[in-house]
Structure 1
Amino acid sequence: MRAETRHQLKEDRFSRVTIATAGNAVHWTVEHQRKLIGAAVVLLVIVGAGIGIWYYQQQQNDKANVVLGQALRTAESPLRTEGAAADPNVPSYATAKERADAARTQFQSVINNYPHTTAADIARYFNGTVEIKMGNYAAAENDLKPVTSVRNDDLSSLAKFALASVYRNTNRPKDAINLYNEIINKPSATVGKSTAQMELAATYEAMQQPADAKRIYEQVQKDNATGQAAQMAATKLQGLK
């Protein structure tokens, strides 16, 4: 068989295979076109829903942050001196209780209206600190406990630190010690290791366990060398002697 003929046969076979493959692909596409279109529609619905949820959450976060900002400003508003007239241009309060009540109302508004936002977690924390200032330890504990387990380590550390003070003020030092140790083992940007150590040592002092307090203060000195924490620990150690 001549070379030209063999070459032609190869080309013909290749063409037939290629055309058959293309034909099968077209046939498969036509046969499954409805499924493809259906899958595409489902995908678009899922993507659209995701975008819609994200947009809604962003709106909720923005609204929550506005109310949270107002509550924080209320909590930090000045107290008027006795007999002083209120300045309409500068928010102020006659008593600490009046200010605390106003702040609590606003913090609670964030918690109730935007429960699934970071702002709500922050509002719970600050609501707890307001309750601590007012001596309402049971209410403070209810607000702070959920925040100790949030994903944000900085916020959860703050909540643990505040909750530990609640435990100390309600004669539950062992619970406070557990929280301080959690912070020490996993410090954050908001509550450092030495800060928790100093409070832990103070807790041991209050429990009449000076040896444990001494051990912690010495560890603070060792870890911080010439820093401010080391100086504070040195002062505390002198008081133990």
Structure 2
Amino acid sequence: MNNMGIDAFFTMAKHEAERLLFQCSDDKSSGGYQHLRNKLEKAAVRKVRVLARGELKLGEVVNEWDFVESEANFSALFKGDYNPYLYASFFLYHWGIYIYSTGEYLSSLRFMIQASIYAGYWKGARERDEWLQAQEVAKQAKIDNGKKVGEGRAAYFQPVREELIRLLMAECPSEGWRFKTKAAEAISGKLQIFIDTHELELKADNLESTILRWSSKYPDIEAAFAKVVRKND
């Protein structure tokens, strides 16, 4: 491939790297990204300048990249930190531009392609983290909404529970009831009248089951049953 062909590919690779490195969505995370990008790019530029001033040979630069690459992969795999990929892509991007300026067109193309690859790794990891965070927020919102619905239902049936306790005390025979089921059966009729009078939506065919369920769910109702159910008397 002649230099003109390499030059065209280099330009394409450079544009792709710039698209991944310098374009970010206009959202709340953009400010944080800009700060991180500026910090890591400055560090990469400093490294490139040091290497360029030392007039290091290509093999020595590859060794430098080997270190950057292994550090980035280690951080991603074992620390869950993908930011070294961003630093690596900046390093390769600026080093590729420098190498291009020295006339090493084929090498500069290789570095620029690597810059695009690692920028893509970082961008993909960032988008995945944002997606996971969004999923967690949605999950928590669903839980919170469920709690609100539950709290709303509890408040809605509060008058019924208060009437239930009153009926347990008022209708309890002198010897008490031997079983919860007998107590629930004894007061369910009058409790249903209370529900109908106040136009509350509570199914009559499930009322006794509801009473028994509430006797384990709400401490005040549980305490009321403890007073009127006397198995050992």
Q: TM-score band, normalised by the shorter chain? A: 0.3 to 0.5
TM-score by length of structure 2 reads 0.32
Greater share of helix: 2
TM-score by length of structure 1 reads 0.32
Larger Rg: 2
* Larger RCO (CA within 8 A; separation ≥ 6): 2
